[in-house]
Amino acid sequence: MRLAKRVLGMSPSPTMAITSKAKEMRAKGIDVIGFGAGEPDFDTPEHVKEAAIEAIKSGFTKYTAPAGILELREAVAEKLKRENGIEYSPQEVVITDGAKLALFNLMLSVIEEGDEVIIPAPYWVTYPEQVKFAGGKPVFVETKEENGFSLRLEDIEPVVNDRTKLLILCTPNNPTGAVIDRNELKRIGEFCAKRGILIASDECYEKLTYDGFEHTSIASISEEIKSVTITINALSKAFSMTGWRVGYAAGPREIIDAMIKINSQSISNVNSVTQKAAIAALTSPTDFLKDWLKAFDERRRYMVERLNEIPGVKCLMPKGAFYAFPNVKELIEKGGLKDDFALADYLLEKAKIAVVPGSAFGMPGYLRLSYATSMNNIIEGLNRFKRAAEELL
Ligand code: PLP
């Protein structure tokens, strides 16, 4: 059997692979501490679960419109106005299976064979795979550690040409936790609007920022910027609803209509019960977030402090999301290891901790550790990391 080229060229998600490997080891009775998680360790809020139970009991279990039910599209439009300061009509919103499908439908809707898509590195692993799947060419630009991994207009300017179709922005960022401030977003947005470059603004981690940083949605800055931007978000991280599979995109009607058409010929619609739960989530108070943020913030500080005590490791303080992205170049070099993959393997075998190598995100010489895990795991995991590093040097 010969599989299609488009799927042969696709790499499986390395973050999911490391999580599965750690799970397998755990199933064999090995005590592995996982720092691979890309999801909050908190439970979905009770009122959201109740809304789903109610939907099942009332028989809301049939096909819905491919765009999502109107009540949910309205709830998203209201949320974007209230919290992000962007005016979208419900018709400019499509409900998708998480942010992942929103991005996928977007790529399939706008990318033609050979179009270039700018992806700032380090990047979320899925972006380049989706771009290639859609026939596009990923063009990577490196963000710099000395700029806190925060993208600058100057990073993208040199690679823009007539084939540049789309820029993918992710703030707060996975894997670095970096954020882009309003000023820089304005510069980047105005540049893209002037050049007719579309912007996919992945705002999945918007609720998870620290030290008083306030997230800005790039589409809220001006009408010109809004006209080239597709705002993408999900309930996955902000409501701890990763398994429910619900997200959305909002943007120019023509693009949203194309994305809806793809829904109609692929998934049909997001699970009807999930959609009802999403309405409850988006229209109820989000006080629980304060406690989640407090816990994430404590873990963030602790993790970064401890990482910086490990010989050969240097880690910036991330301003958002729930990941630390330490520079481990010195540890790799002095420890005589080949690269960050080898270090991640060493840490899994020796210290029984699962971390993701930076190479998976297009940035060798780093590791990603998620702090969406208990403080006890973080304490013990970092003790193990330190011991294993000391043995290596
Ligand atoms: N975008 C980023 C930057 C992510 O980190 C993730 C999940 O890890 C997603 C999108 C996908 O989110 P969802 O589970 O809503 O599809």
Q: Measured from the CA of 124, which atom of ligand 1 is nearest?
A: 3
Residue 38 scores a pLDDT above 90: no
Instruction: Answer yes or no: same fold for 5-43+288-392 and 62-283.
Output: no
Q: For a substitution probing ligand 1, which of 13, 126, 322, 325 has the most ligand atoms within 8 Å of its CB? A: 126
pTM tops 0.90, yes or no: yes
> Is-contact 201 182, C-beta < 8 A?
no
Task: List CB contacts of 46: < 8 A, sequence separation 6 or more.
Answer: none
- Whether the Cβ atoms of residue 391 and residue 346 lie closer than 8 Å to each other: no
Q: How is the chain split into domains, by residue range?
A: 5-43+288-392, 62-283
Question: Which residues 6+ apart lie within 8 Å of 282 measured at CB?
Answer: 72, 75, 76, 78, 79, 235
Ligand 1 center–CA 372 separation, angstroms: 14
CATH class of the domain at 5-43+288-392: alpha beta
pLDDT exceeds cutoff 90 at 15: no
Q: Which atom of ligand 1 is nearest to the CA of 321?
A: 5
The type of residue at 376 is N
- Rounded mean pLDDT, 303-319: 98
Predicted ipTM of the assembly: 0.99
Mean pLDDT of 129-155: 97
pLDDT in tens, 162-177: 999 999 999 999 999 9
Rounded-to-integer distance, Cα 122 and Cα 318, Å: 14
Domain 62-283 has CATH 3.40.640.10: yes
Using CB distances shorter than 6 Å, the residues near ligand 1 are 38, 98-100, 124, 170, 174, 202, 204, 234, 236, 242, 247
Q: How far is the CA of 386 from the centre of ligand 1 (A)?
A: 30
The string of pLDDT tens digits covering residues 253-278 is 999 999 999 999 999 999 999 999 99
Ligand 1 center–CA 242 separation, angstroms: 9
Interval 354-373 mean pLDDT: 96
User: Could you tell me whether strands 164-170 and 116-121 are parallel, antiparallel, or unpaired per DSSP bridges?
Assistant: parallel
* Residue 162 per-residue DSSP state: T
What's the rounded Cα separation, in Å, for the pair 300 and 251?
33
- Taking only the tens place, the pLDDT of each residue in 54-64 is 999 999 999 99
- Residue 4 backbone phi and psi in degrees, to 5: -70, 145
Task: Kindly tell me if the per-residue pLDDT of 203 is higher than 80.
Answer: yes
Calculate the average pLDDT of the chain.
96
